[in-house]
Structure 1
Amino acid sequence: MKLRDFLIGVATGLAASIIIKETSERISPFVPANQVLDNVKTEFKKESPIDGSWIYMKTEDYNNGIMTIPVYRGGITRVLNGELETFEFAADARSGVVVELLKV
């Protein structure tokens, strides 16, 4: 095998991987649900330890009165000052930003 043929193969492989990556991001432009949950947990851990957490992997529509956006729904449970606190949240599926946080 010639070096030229090998380099053409490597270049073709790189080009194909870039095209596949770009196409997959356009098809599913959402932040992974696990990453959103990890970000929310990181913010909660700044105040107190977390007892439990969950997130739905499928998006649902959230209407804030002005527009409708796809969101992930999830929840966090923590113990603060000896009391159990439970929070539910909705996070924008495209950016991961929490758009709603409710203490249950």
Structure 2
Amino acid sequence: MNWKSSFILGAVIGVIGGYAAKEFISKKTKVSPEKVLEYVKKQFKESGPISGSWIHMEAVPYEKHQFHYEVYKGGISKNNNGTNEQYEFIADAYTGTLLDLRRLPEELAS
């Protein structure tokens, strides 16, 4: 093989490799639900101990302010001065970012 055909072969392989790398990097991958729950629990623990937590293991569609997301839904329970408080959260499945959090009323938390 002469230097011209080696150069062309190398260039073609480089272009194909670059395209494959670009496609691999640009694919979105979801954060595991366990990691999302770990992150949310860490945030809650900053204001006191938690007594329980859960997360739905499958991402579901969600819309907020006309933006569409795939999200994990979950919950956290904590004891605050003898009162059991429960919260529901919604977190982005690709970044783990907390998108929504709401405290459940006491009658639903029991």
Q: Say whether the fold is shared (TM-score over 0.5).
A: yes
Structure 2 residue 36 is matched with structure 1 residue 48: no
Which has more radius of gyration?
A: 2
- For 1:102 and 1:61, locate their aligned partners in 2 and report how far apart those are by CA, in whole Å: 18
Q: Which runs of 5+ in 2 are unaligned?
A: 1-19, 105-110
Q: Which residue of 2 aligns with 1:36?
A: 36
Q: Which runs of 5+ in 1 are unaligned?
A: 1-18
3-state DSSP class of the match of 1:90? strand
1:44, CA displacement in angstroms? Answer: 0.5
Q: Which residue of 1 aligns with 2:89?
A: 89
Structure 2 residue 71 is matched with structure 1 residue 68: no
Normalised TM-score (structure 1):
0.73
Task: Give the length in aligned residue pairs.
Answer: 82
- For 2:83 and 2:68, locate their aligned partners in 1 and report how far apart those are by CA, in whole Å: 35
2:69 alignment partner AA: I
- For 1:45 and 1:67, locate their aligned partners in 2 and report how far apart those are by CA, in whole Å: 29
- For 1:64 and 1:47, locate their aligned partners in 2 and report how far apart those are by CA, in whole Å: 27
Structure 1 segments of 4+ aligned residues over 2 angstroms from their partners = none
1:65, CA displacement in angstroms? Answer: 2.8
1:69, CA displacement in angstroms? Answer: 0.4
- For 1:38 and 1:90, locate their aligned partners in 2 and report how far apart those are by CA, in whole Å: 14
2:29 alignment partner AA: P
- For 2:100 and 2:30, locate their aligned partners in 1 and report how far apart those are by CA, in whole Å: 18
3-state DSSP class of the match of 2:94? coil
Percent of aligned pairs with the same amino acid: 38
1:66, CA displacement in angstroms? Answer: 1.5
What's the Cα RMSD here?
1.8
- For 1:102 and 1:79, locate their aligned partners in 2 and report how far apart those are by CA, in whole Å: 16
1:67, CA displacement in angstroms? Answer: 1.3
